[in-house]
């Protein structure tokens, strides 16, 4: 291993990793666990390998020139595949807020950029230090920033819609592709593209964090009070006589009678876990370091047991009427995976 490699590697790989760490630490709520960040970095790395193969095959098969291809074709392929990771997480209710959409999107782009730059480090060992400045501070940040911007726009457009609709993701995808393509339009002035990326990407993400932190705090307080009242009604028995409670009871009569008890137990335990997750987020905002416990793990095991007893058909019928938001489901996902 040469001395030049030891100098070039941190420049080519370091900036995007450092910015990801900064973003994760700027999130006072710690909405995204290290587990999720690690998995999405790995997914981005796998996609980099897939795109290398796809791009190589497409250029050879269709005889594209590398210049036009890098400006108009590869951005579409690469940003679509990176965005697909977030779309999957959105569909599974693993992303609930703009902040975590930005962090997860940047993590996917980080994994993509790391694998891409590791390949370049080995493929072009004679490249000068200027190349690695451009690769590290320009190309890598562009990959992370483009996918983060997709995540932020997708979250803002889909958070009010419980049903999956593919067209809500198109504006964010278009923005990511335009950013990527614009960066590739300056092959003869790479420092200009790099400097622009170094300014635009961090500033845009910091603005998202500044706006979202206050909104999350306000939402958490309101949602926490709502769930506290709901849980109090359940424990006192008032919920069973409310309009929502009567609906659950009437719905359960269409299935096995034993499911009535399980349905009410499921709603109560789900509410308790949401409250637990929101309590931990508020404690983190105050600078405390709460951790998931063995009791939390046992409660999740009980929740999943109730889901199996209720059955998929009954649960799918019940679910739309419970009005659990994607934010609440994302909170539960992160709480469950913190152990």
Give pLDDT tens digits for 138-192.
Answer: 999 999 999 999 999 999 998 876 677 889 999 999 999 999 999 999 988 999 9
- Among 274, 327, 328, smallest CA distance to 300 is for 274
Task: Give residue limits of the domains in the chain.
Answer: 3-212, 237-337
In whole angstroms, give the CA distance from residue 234 to residue 35: 34
Both structure tokens of 247:
């609906």
Position 103 scores a pLDDT of: 97
Q: d(Cα 43, Cα 124) in Å, to the nearest integer?
A: 25
Residue 197 confidence class, pLDDT cut points 50, 70, 90: very high
Cα separation, 320 vs 118, in Å, equals 46
Say if residue 256's pLDDT is above 80. Answer: no
pLDDT confidence tier of residue 245, bands split at 50, 70 and 90: confident
Helix ranges (DSSP H) in 237-257: 238-241, 243-252
Instruction: Give the pLDDT band of residue 9 (cuts 50, 70, 90).
Output: confident
Residue 219 CB neighbour total at 10 angstroms: 16
Q: What is the spatial distance between Cα 317 and Cα 332, in angstroms, rounded to a whole number? A: 21
Q: Which of 331, 268, 335 lies closest to 302 in space, CA to CA?
A: 268
pLDDT of residue 161: 67
Helix, strand, coil shares, percent, the chain, to 5: 85, 0, 15
Q: Predicted confidence band at 303 (pLDDT cuts at 50, 70, 90)?
A: very high
Least confident range of 108-112, 160-164, 201-205, 315-319: 160-164
Given this model, what pLDDT does residue 68 score? Answer: 94
Average pLDDT, integer, range 292-315: 91
Q: Is the pLDDT of residue 59 over 60?
A: yes
Contacts 24+ apart (CB under 8 A), 205-212: 205/19, 205/23, 205/102, 205/106, 205/145, 205/148, 206/26, 208/98, 208/99, 208/102, 208/152, 209/23, 209/26, 209/27, 209/99, 209/102, 211/98, 212/97, 212/98, 212/99
For 119, left (φ over 0), alpha (ψ -120 to 50), or beta?
alpha
Rounded Cα distance between 252 and 249, Å, is 5
Q: pLDDT grade, residue 2 (50/70/90)?
A: low
- Return the structure tokens found at 301: 């095991």
Q: At what angle do helices 170-184 and 74-91 cross, to 10 degrees?
A: 150
- Percentage of the chain surpassing pLDDT 70? 96
pLDDT band at 40 (very low <50, low <70, confident <90, very high): very high
CA distance to 25, 285, 291, per residue, from 288 (Å):
14, 7, 10
pLDDT at position 104 is: 97
DSSP secondary-structure letter at 138? I
* pLDDT single digits (tens) 72-104: 999 999 999 999 999 999 999 899 899 999 999
């Amino acid at each position: 291993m040469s001395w030049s490699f030891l100098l070039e590697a941190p420049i080519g790989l370091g900036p995007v990793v450092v910015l990801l760490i900064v973003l994760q630490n700027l999130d006072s709520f710690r909405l995204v666990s290290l587990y999720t960040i690690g998995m999405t970095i790995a997914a981005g790395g796998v996609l980099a390998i897939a795109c290398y193969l796809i791009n190589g095959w497409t250029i050879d098969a269709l005889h594209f020139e590398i210049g036009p291809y890098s400006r108009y074709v590869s951005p579409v392929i690469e940003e679509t595949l990176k965005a697909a990771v977030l779309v999957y997480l959105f569909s599974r209710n693993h992303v609930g807020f703009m902040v975590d959409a930005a962090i997860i999107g940047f993590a996917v782009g980080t994994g993509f950029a790391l694998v891409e730059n590791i390949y370049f480090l080995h493929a072009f060992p004679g490249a000068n230090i200027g190349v690695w400045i451009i690769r590290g501070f320009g190309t890598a940040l562009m990959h992370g920033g483009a996918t983060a911007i997709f995540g932020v726009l997708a979250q803002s457009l889909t958070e009010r819609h419980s049903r999956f609709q593919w067209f809500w993701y198109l504006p964010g995808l278009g923005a990511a592709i335009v950013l990527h393509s614009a960066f590739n339009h300056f092959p003869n002035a790479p420092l200009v593209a790099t400097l622009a990326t170094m300014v635009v990407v961090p500033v845009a993400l910091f603005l998202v964090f500044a706006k979202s932190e206050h909104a999350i705090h306000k939402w958490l307080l309101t949602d926490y009070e709502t769930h506290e009242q709901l849980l109090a009604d359940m424990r006192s028995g008032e919920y069973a006589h409310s309009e929502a409670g009567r609906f659950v009871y009437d719905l359960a009569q269409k299935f096995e009678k034993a499911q009535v008890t399980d349905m009410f137990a499921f709603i109560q335990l789900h509410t308790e876990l949401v409250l637990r997750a929101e309590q931990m987020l508020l404690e983190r905002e105050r600078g405390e370091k709460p951790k998931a416990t063995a009791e939390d793990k046992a409660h999740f095991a009980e929740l999943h047991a109730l889901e199996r007893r209720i059955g998929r058909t009954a649960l799918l019928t019940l679910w739309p009427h419970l009005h659990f938001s994607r934010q609440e489901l994302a909170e539960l996902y992160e709480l469950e995976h913190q152990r």
